[in-house]
Chain A
Amino acid sequence: MNDKNLLLSVSKLNVSFNSHKILDDISFEVKRDDTLAIIGPNGAGKTVLFKCLLELIPYEGEVKWAKDVKIGYVPQRLNVGKDLPLTVEEFLRFKEKSSKKIEEVLTMVGFKRNKEHLIHRGKRLLKTRLGVLSGGEFQRILIAYALLGNPNVLLFDEPTSGVDVSAEETVYSLIERLKKEVDLTIIFISHELGIVYKHAASVLCLNKEKVCFGPPHDVIDKESLQKLYGEDVHFHHHDDHF
């Protein structure tokens, strides 16, 4: 990779399952400190693209990360049973044994302290089981898990699926705050246009093939939306968010 500002370059990426094309000839680049949103309808191949970026599934084409890249991955809301006897502390210790570092990242993602302990609804957060956390709280634990590896890029799969609206806002403001505190490039999947205008510097519109790529205001237009979501989509310009 020649350009030092380039973090990721994807070229001619193709994925098929059982001769069914999922991703068709996708190419794009991500610069350092960018915030890239990947949008598209259900079944557009957004999560599959993420899995290629993480080398979780086989693909044709090229996915090239900068040499110094450290990826933190925040998966789509996981189905953790309420009865899974796994505490926040035990989960985070899969990745990091130092209690000091664990407490640091938990504070970073917005959990509050009460004297000596981090607290969740009046109880010690570290001793709380994952299954009893709300969607937004669990999302933040997953972000904390990703942050434990000191990543310089975060991959977020639908940061807000299964999260109630007020928590949704905090997840995005949290992402914005993290970007200011830590040197981070963010790539996130979303299907909400409003979020993209508000939080992303660039956008990749995906519907099996690349429909558009660039700054949201330049590349999202009536034509690209129709290609993404079909004919009946109402086109809103979200200037008011800026």
Chain B
Amino acid sequence: MDTNLLMLIFTGALVGASSGFLGSFMVLKRMSLVGDALSHVALPGMAIALTMAINPMLGALVALTVAVFGIWYLGEKTEIYPEALVGVFFTASLAIGILVTPEPELLEALFGNLETIGLFDSVVTIFASFLIFIVTLRLSDKLLLGVVSEDLAKSGGIKVSKVNLIYLLLVGLVVALGVKFVGTLLTGAMVIVPAAAAKNLAKSIKSFQIVSVLIGVLSAAFGIIIAQATEIASGPAVVLVSITAFVISYFFKAE
């Protein structure tokens, strides 16, 4: 195994860990579909970055940040998540993204391509992953109390809406990190599937989060190894490994 591949596996595993951790809250907040659709917004951002010869990860990050503010605003202003509106907006951005993305880059933007991941991407990913872990650990109790009851959290002095915004921004960040590995169509799965699998097995929040992170790490690492060995796109490989974990977890579902 050469150092390049090791580096890929390492950074991929970090993305898997961060998205597994963040995904655990997404699943509890019943926002899984929003998390999935959110990843589609990355495409037009990447497309514009590609045409301007900027790193597509940065383009994705900008587009995602804008979208996160939109989701957050809608969530704050309405009682129920305006699901239909979110669906319309995100599929629209996917359609526009497909039209704008230069043809040679379209396939890798949609499904990921390990070849294009350079040292810069790895360094950014390592720093961003640590940032995600530190901030999320500090937010964890507040987010979870908000899941149990927003009123209870607010009456305890927690600024629920601020906590939600920071959390969603972190989700946007992890999706931006994931797009190069698994592509914009499937990055949402990295956030949702490990957490959904872990929820089947978990008997406590602690075990839920640990298992979710582990499944995220293993899916990314094995997916990348399989993609390299069989020369298939990395996105489907990573996602199918995590789906396999989900199917297995279903048979061991905790009572």
Q: How far is the CA of A51 from the CA of B151 in the complex (A)?
A: 8
Closest to B152 in A: A75
From the candidates B28, B144, B149, name the one contacting A78 in the complex (CB within 8 A): B149
Confirm or deny: A85 has a beta carbon within 8 angstroms of a beta carbon on chain B. Answer: yes
Q: Please state if A94 and B144 are interface contacts (CB–CB under 8 Å).
A: yes
Q: Count of B residues near A, CB < 8 Å?
A: 21
Q: Does B148 contact A (CB under 8 A)?
A: yes
A75 touches B151 (CB 8 A): yes
In the complex, what residues of A have CB within 8 A of residue B156's CB?
95, 149
CA distance A85 to B255 in the complex (A): 11
Q: Are B151 and A90 in contact (CB under 8 A)?
A: no
Q: Are the C-beta atoms of B152 and A87 separated by less than 8 Å?
A: no
| Chain B residues, CB < 8 A from A95 | 156
Chain B residues numbered 140-159 whose CB sits less than 8 Å from any CB in chain A = 141, 144-145, 147-149, 151-152, 154-156
Q: How large is the interface on A (under 10, 10 to 19, 20 to 34, 35 or more residues)?
A: 20 to 34
> C-beta contact mask, A74-87 vs B, less than 8 Å → 1, else 0?
01001010011111
Task: Give Cα A90–Cα B148 distance, bound, in whole angstroms.
Answer: 12
Counting residue pairs across A and B whose Cβ atoms lie within 8 Å, the total is 54
Whether B149 pairs with A86 at a CB distance below 8 angstroms is no
B186 at the interface (CB under 8 A from A): no
A73 close to B (CB within 8 Å): yes
Residues of A within 8 A of B154 (CB): 54, 56
Hey, which chain A residues are within 8 Å of B4, CB to CB? none
Contact A84 B141 (CB under 8 A): no
CB distance from A120 to the nearest CB of B (A): 14
For A54, A83, A94, which residue has the most chain B Cβ atoms within 10 angstroms? A94
A91 close to B151 (CB less than 8 A): no
A57-110 interface with B by 8 A CB criterion? 71, 73, 75, 78, 80, 83-87, 90-91, 93-95
Q: Are A56 and B204 in contact (CB under 8 A)?
A: no
16 extra interface residue pairs, beta carbon distance < 8 Å, beyond A75-B152, A85-B203: A51-B151, A54-B151, A73-B151, A73-B152, A73-B155, A75-B151, A85-B204, A85-B207, A86-B144, A86-B204, A87-B205, A90-B206, A127-B203, A129-B203, A129-B204, A149-B156
Measured CB to CB, the residues of A under 8 A from B are 51, 54, 56, 71, 73, 75, 78, 80, 83-87, 90-91, 93-95, 127, 129-130, 145, 149
- Which 10 A-B pairs give the minimum distances between C-beta atoms? A85-B202, A85-B208, A73-B155, A54-B155, A87-B204, A94-B145, A94-B141, A90-B205, A78-B149, A86-B205
